[in-house]
Amino acid sequence: MKSIFLIPIILILSCSNSNNLNDEKTNGKLIPISTSSNEAKEQFIEARRLVQNGLNNNPIEHFEKAILLDSSFVRMYNFISIYSPDDSIKKMNHELAKKYKHLVSKEEQMLVEATEFRFNNSDDKSEKIMFEITKLCNSDKYLYHTISYLLFRKNPILAIKTGLKSVEIDKSYASGYNILGYTYINNKEFKKAENAFDNYIKYAPTDGNPYDSKADLLMQIGRYEEALVLKKKAYELDKSFDWIPEEILEIEAKLESINEK
């Protein structure tokens, strides 16, 4: 599973016209993506796809393009404030999301409020505001993925429930199985984790990350030969996974040590 690192770009641009918002029409079932630019919206969607599937852990070009097109793009700022592992980057982008949140939908404002609550309550394990949004947007698989991502270490049982909901909404939602697999690992449910990663491979067979994710599990439970095959497959599919060659050497050394005994 590729770690997520997003770099903020501070651009001095004029504020977008709030009367020109182009919200996604969803009848309240999905969180709208409010922006003055259809192209900015497309950049956000692509950045989300890349990050959630581990295909590009720093989709800076998409962030730059989106903000050039809409400097008040709350959803983009909020996305980074959730998924970046760097607290300073989180806070910087959260402040930008707060600055413009009056321009966007109620649901998007609630996302910003949930992030604010998280900053002020770092030990929270319930994500109550996020779950309030699910009452308004109960068909948003990306929302359930986000909740699962936020809770998979702090509250794996609740994270499993939300992960399952995301793939219940869309059984072919590949990245939903990825976060679900890691959540099962944290809950010591290794067989269920393996099943989740098998589904991840099934629905994203040409991506490297599904094989890398399953290999992480197999390494943890001592199935090194299988893990080695999958790590090599992941690197074959995606050479940007620059940590894998070192892991391959470590697995090979481990297998050699086992065989010598």
- Cβ atoms within 10 A of the Cβ of 148, count? 27
pLDDT tens digits for range 213-226: 999 999 999 999 99
Pick the range with the lowest mean pLDDT from 64-68, 72-76, 214-218. 64-68
Residue 71's pLDDT band, with cuts at 50, 70 and 90, is very high
pLDDT of residue 57: 57
Predicted confidence at residue 85, as pLDDT, reads 75
CA 77 – CA 82 distance, rounded (Å): 9
pTM above 0.75, yes or no: yes
Confidence of residue 259 (pLDDT cuts 50, 70, 90): confident
* 230-240 burial: b if 16+ Cβ within 10 Å, else e: bbbbbbebbee
Domain coordinates in residue numbering, the chain: 24-139
Average pLDDT over residues 22-39: 75
> Rounded distance, CA 50 to CA 53, Å?
5
How many C-beta atoms lie closer than 10 Å to residue 5's C-beta?
14
Pick 241 or 25 by higher pLDDT: 241
Give the chain's mean pLDDT. 89
Of 126, 127, 192, 180, the C-alpha closest to 152 is 180
pLDDT digits (tens, 9 = 90+) for 160-188: 999 999 999 999 999 999 999 999 999 99
b/e per residue 35-57 (b: at least 16 CB within 10 A): bbbeebbbbbbbbbbbbbbbbbb
Q: Write out the two tokens for 221.
A: 């439970």
Cβ(34)–Cβ(103) under 8 Å?
A: yes
8 A C-beta contact, residue 31 and residue 107: yes
pLDDT at 125: 96
Tokens found for residue 210 = 């599904």
For residues 24 and 32, give the distance between their C-alpha atoms in angstroms, rounded to a whole number.
5
- Give the integer Cα–Cα distance in Å for 95 and 115: 10
